[in-house]
Amino acid sequence: MASPPIPPPFDYSGRRPVSFYPAILNVEHNEWLFRKATWSEIVVVNCKTGTEISIPRRFMGEVSRIDDPVLIVGLTRELEYKNGAVWPYQRRVLQMPMAVGEAHTGPSPVARERGTPAPIVGIRLESPAGQGAFRLFGRAMVVAVAAVTATLYVAVIYLSRAGDSRPRGAVWAARDKAFLQLTGADDAAAVRAKLGPPAGDRWRSGPAGAQYRALDYPSRRYTAILMGSRGASARYIGSVDDHWSVIHSVPLAGGGSSESLLRALKRF
């Protein structure tokens, strides 16, 4: 007796639209409805065009915890829709055309047709007169430059250590890690209660209509990121440092973490 189909990795109601990230290429409208699931693929229908496609399970990624205004489902590969199916998108490398008059370095058409190896060109092994002396002079110059560089390096290290008046036993304070107390259930008010008033508060629209909110804490040297619609529904998904590198993320409802969402988010 055949076993029942494996359920999808996220909770579909059949009437709730989802958006894929990154969006499937060659499809203008990025809102889909779940149709059915098998052991190997997920079948969805486009809300606008009615196009039905099957996505292999190996391409299905993480699911966002926030479904307002739409649930976001991550894809492990960038896909494109063509010939009635989805395929992994491959960026093509175009070969530059050969310039007029440029010599062809490949085998001649006659050689390719006959399948014979290219002719062997003789290589002259004799050194011209005076070349040995020139090589000896070049080696001497390389040795001299290396010796001067090493001397300058030692002098710089000595001067830097001599001018360093800090005590050797000094202990430097670690980075503020108050963001570790934040969770995926925290809204902007909860973040302020735990970290204090932010120095900056700004919004940015993301893919599939998602909204991102950044609360800046320059004194702590990081920024708290929230995701959701404008208002109280935005929830904390992680923090980034001054270089916009992810330093904290939260678990997602469908498994995994929000780190992939933060890495895909451009600085704003």
pLDDT in the model for residue 139? 79
Q: How many residues does the chain have?
A: 268
Count CA atoms closer than 13 A to 43's CA, side-chain side.
10
β-strands 222-227, 235-241: how paired? Answer: antiparallel
**Strand ranges across the sheet with 246-249:** 200-205, 211-217, 222-227, 235-241, 246-249
Contacts of 198 (CB under 8 A, 6+ apart): 191, 192, 215, 216, 217, 224
Count CA atoms closer than 13 A to 145's CA, side-chain side.
6
pTM for this entry? 0.40
Alpha carbon separation from 112 to 99, 106, 121 (Å, rounded) = 22, 10, 18
> Is 217 strand, coil or helix?
strand
pLDDT in the model for residue 132? 66
Nearest to 25 by CA among 83, 81, 91, 84: 81
pLDDT in the model for residue 252? 85
Report d(CA 66, CA 198) in Å as an integer: 23
Report d(CA 100, CA 95) in Å as an integer: 15
65-102 pLDDT per residue, tens: 776 677 888 899 899 998 889 999 887 777 676 666 65
DSSP class of residue 166 equals S
pLDDT in the model for residue 231? 64
pLDDT in the model for residue 248? 95
Report d(CA 227, CA 65) in Å as an integer: 9
Decide if 42 contacts 60 (C-beta within 8 A).
yes
Decide if 75 contacts 22 (C-beta within 8 A).
yes
Alpha carbon separation from 134 to 71, 129, 177 (Å, rounded) = 71, 10, 61
pLDDT beneath 70, residues of the chain: 1-15, 67-68, 95, 97-134, 154-175, 207-208, 231-232
